[in-house]
């Protein structure tokens, strides 16, 4: 009977109040009028009659009925009350024919507050309904520079294109990322069929996610669904049944939850103890470890890409070090990003026990392969990745850039230094700022003039002539010489007449890096780096102290300057000097940090500011050439626009 159901609902309401009181949480139903008391409103906009997700109904518009309900919208008043009789009548009506009368509600910051129809909402929540129809007015607050405000305005843009109100994200850029993955440009309306199709996928995913305990996690169904789509693809998801979705979710569960739920990051700044000593011997027998086949996945070939060429030198170094005990192979010439998954699967099928994917854009495909093949060790050459299944590895190249900047500051005779880089991905801004810090340390008057080769405005521009017109005769350019080019515009060089004179070159010793990683498996330190946290997210971020990063000086550097740079290098190798220790000044003032005058690894990797002696700015996504946008989407220092 409906009366019995009312008793059950009241018990559920009381239990909710008790649980919240025990946790120190509010025990009253939120009232929108109270919430808006100190909020500056931009405007109110009628949305008409829409389906309101019941899980997003958070409270009432006024406080007239707030004390009649628990925060979970279950009733609290006694069963002899008029309220109880009306609630029970609605319950009977719902059981006979369903509740069809729309409610009236207000939407504020992605949550709904009921003006008329509180008991209807309560009954529908009791029966576990998904949504209820209602006439909704949206209240939009003034935009603020907070994560909550930015997320909400991203939702408003997404809603304008899709009319989807049930998808909630907790990370900035997620709505834009989802639209991009699904092939929708911003301000492009979704068709009715596309909305129905997506809602069907969402419902199937939500069912599987809840069955696995997703409701107990501090990430939304939207967060989890986006991670799923990134890994397994939307096209496959559209054809997948609940069982297949559940199986795939189980594969990625540890990695997904580890990435979102207060992850423990084991950033390895140095090779594990014993690795450096053992590397000197270079003695290895087949019985020492389990790695016998290692694959390298390049985007382009070593003949056509300076980046691939540098990693190929590292692979050849491995062959010399390990001889016949380890077999290495190359998978390259990947023309389309959608082919990366197939290439990695081929490397797995060929029996490779360790796979290095050498581009940040390859991370999604690497992650999918890792969850499908947990016995294969897969590493991705990138920064800022946060996954259990794939270990990112990179070098602290900013250390060499700091030394290069100090050298430029010593040698410049105009106090103007040029700096050429490609696009704003993680780590790149740190290199610029470290260079600028090095310049400022020895020459406070000097300025660093920054230009991006991937910026649309620089296409067809002779940057060398540009810097010369400014009076900058010392220029820092790309770190790796292009094997296809005879140009000497790399590293730090001086323009002396018609030909550049190379002075210093930051170098990647990828061979030593790869050897150290393989040795970590051989000597058992591969798992030891997780320390006391079995699920810690491990990343390698080695620098000059490990020998994987260095700066080579040419004969064009004076003995006095050489002595100073070598002294700085020695101090950096022992951590006596670090580029980002001390008070940091950006173009906008003092840079705050979690620890006074010492940036954390995360703050260095995710730098989105420029030092105060840099003349230039970080380009927006829309200001970059289309060819680099996939890389910046995946590994950019700022959120998607």
Pairing between β-strand 589-590 and β-strand 585-586 as defined by DSSP bridges: antiparallel
Per residue, the 3-state secondary structure of 294-318, as one string, reads: EEEECCCCCCCCHHHHHHHHHHHHH
- The pLDDT value recorded for residue 283 is 36
pLDDT score at 435: 97
pLDDT at 282: 38
pLDDT value at residue 406:
97
Contact present, 449 and 616 (Cβ < 8 Å): yes
**What CA–CA distance (Å, rounded) separates 431 from 196?**
46
How many angstroms separate the CA atoms of 487 and 265, rounded? 41
What are the structure tokens assigned to 138, written together?
Answer: 């949206």
Q: What is the DSSP letter of 611?
A: B
* Token pair for 113: 């507050």
Beta bridge partners of 582: none
In sequence order, which ranges of 163-239 are alpha helices (DSSP H)?
174-181, 192-211, 221-232, 234-239
In what helix (H) or strand (E) does residue 124 lie, and over which residues does it extend? helix 118-126
Give the residue among 321, 632, 623, 294 at the shortest CA–CA distance from 451: 623
Contact indicator for 632, 622 with CB cutoff of 8 Å = no
d(CA 201, CA 295): 36
Instruction: From residue 219, give the alpha-carbon distance in Å to each of 170, 230, 412, 556, 602.
Output: 7, 16, 52, 56, 21
pLDDT value for 318: 95
CA–CA dist 202, 181 (Å, integer): 15
| Distances, alpha carbon 377 to alpha carbons 82, 164, 526, in Å | 66, 39, 10
Residue 272 confidence (pLDDT)? 67
Classify residue 573 by its DSSP letter. Answer: H
Distance CA 530, CA 61 (A): 50
Nearest to 169 by CA among 202, 193, 120: 202
pLDDT digits (tens, 9 = 90+) for 230-286: 889 899 999 998 899 999 999 888 777 766 555 566 778 878 664 444 443 333 333
SS3 499: strand
Summarize pLDDT for 96-136 with one digit per residue, the tens: 888 889 999 999 999 999 999 999 999 999 999 999 999 99
Give the helix ranges, DSSP H, for 510-558: 510-522, 525-528
Comparing C-alpha atoms, which of 84, 75, 149 is closest to residue 110?
Answer: 149
Joined together, the tokens standing for residue 589 give 């003032």
Report d(CA 308, CA 333) in Å as an integer. Answer: 10
The predicted structure's pLDDT at residue 165: 95
Spell out, as residue ranges, where the chain has pLDDT lower than 50. 274-288, 532, 640-641
Give how far Cα 20 sits from Cα of 17, 24, 57, 66, Å.
5, 6, 18, 16
Q: What is the DSSP letter of 359?
A: S
Query: Taking a C-beta distance cutoff of 8 angstroms, is the pair 517, 506 a contact?
Result: no
DSSP symbols for 62-92: SSSSGGGB-TTS-B-S-TTSHHHHHHHHHHH
Estimate to the nearest angstrom the gap between the alpha carbon of 104 and the chain centroid: 39
C-alpha span between 586 and 603 (Å, rounded)? 14
Please, what's the largest Cα pairwise distance for the chain? 97
């Amino acid at each position: 009977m409906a009366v019995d159901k009312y008793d059950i609902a009241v018990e559920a309401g009381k239990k909710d109040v008790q649980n919240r009181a025990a946790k120190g949480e509010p025990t009253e139903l939120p009232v929108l009028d109270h919430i808006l008391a100190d909020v500056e409103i931009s405007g109110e906009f009628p949305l008409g009659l829409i389906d309101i997700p019941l899980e997003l109904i958070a409270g009432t518009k006024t406080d007239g009925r707030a004390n009649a309900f628990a925060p979970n919208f279950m009733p609290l008043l006694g069963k002899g009350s008029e309220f109880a009789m009306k609630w029970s009548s609605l319950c009977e009506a719902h059981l006979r024919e369903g509740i069809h009368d729309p409610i009236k509600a207000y939407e504020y910051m992605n949550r709904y507050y009921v003006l008329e129809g509180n008991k209807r909402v309560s009954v529908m929540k009791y029966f576990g309904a998904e949504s209820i129809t209602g006439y909704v007015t949206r209240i939009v607050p003034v935009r603020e520079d907070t994560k909550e405000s930015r997320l909400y305005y991203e939702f408003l843009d997404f809603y304008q294109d899709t009319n989807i109100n049930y998808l909630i994200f907790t990370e900035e850029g997620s709505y834009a990322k989802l639209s991009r993955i699904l092939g929708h440009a911003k301000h492009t309306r979704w068709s009715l069929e596309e909305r129905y199709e997506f809602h069907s996928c969402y419902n199937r995913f939500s069912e599987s996610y809840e069955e696995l305990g997703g409701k107990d996690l501090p990430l939304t169904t939207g967060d989890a669904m986006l991670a799923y789509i990134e890994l397994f693809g939307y096209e496959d998801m559209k054809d997948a049944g609940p069982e297949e979705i559940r199986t795939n979710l189980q594969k990625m569960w540890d990695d997904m939850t580890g990435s979102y739920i207060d992850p423990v990051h084991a950033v390895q700044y140095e090779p594990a103890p014993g690795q450096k000593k053992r590397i000197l011997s270079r003695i290895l027998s087949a019985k020492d470890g389990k790695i016998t086949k290692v694959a390298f996945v390049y985007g382009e070939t070593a003949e056509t890409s300076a980046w691939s060429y540098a990693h190929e030198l590292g692979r050849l170094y491995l062959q010399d070090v390990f001889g016949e005990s380890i077999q290495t192979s190359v998978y390259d010439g990947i023309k389309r990003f959608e082919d990366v998954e197939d290439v990695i699967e081929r490397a797995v099928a060929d029996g490779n026990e360790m796979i290095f994917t050498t581009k940040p854009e390859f991370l999604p495909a690497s992650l999918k392969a890792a969850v499908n093949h947990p016995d294969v060790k897969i590493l991705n050459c990138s920064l800022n990745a946060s996954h259990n299944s794939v270990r990112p590895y990179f070098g602290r190249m900013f250390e060499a850039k700091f030394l290069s900047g100090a050298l430029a500051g010593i040698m410049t005779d105009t106090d103007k230094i040029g700096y050429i880089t490609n696009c704003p991905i993680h780590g790149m801004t740190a290199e610029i700022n470290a260079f600028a810090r090095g310049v400022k340390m020895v020459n406070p008057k000097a300025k660093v003039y920054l230009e991006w080769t991937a910026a649309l405005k620089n296409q067809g521009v002779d940057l060398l002539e540009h810097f010369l017109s400014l009076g900058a005769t010392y220029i820092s350019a790309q770190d790796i010489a292009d094997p296809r080019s005879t140009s000497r515009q790399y590293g730090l060089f001086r323009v002396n007449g018609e030909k550049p004179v190379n002075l210093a070159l930051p170098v990647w010793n990828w061979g030593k890096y790869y050897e150290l990683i393989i040795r970590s498996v051989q000597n058992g330190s591969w798992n030891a780096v997780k320390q006391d946290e079995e699920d810690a997210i491990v990343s390698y971020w080695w620098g000059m102290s490990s020998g994987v990063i260095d700066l080579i000086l040419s004969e064009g550097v004076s003995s006095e300057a050489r002595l100073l740079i070598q002294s700085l290098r020695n101090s950096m190798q022992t951590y006596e000097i670090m580029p980002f220790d001390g008070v940091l000044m950006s173009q906008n003032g003092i840079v705050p940090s979690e620890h006074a005058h010492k940036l954390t690894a995360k703050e260095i990797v995710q730098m989105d500011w420029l030092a105060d002696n840099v003349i230039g700015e970080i380009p927006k996504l829309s200001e970059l050439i289309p060819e680099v946008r996939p890389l910046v989407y995946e590994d950019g220092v700022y959120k998607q626009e």
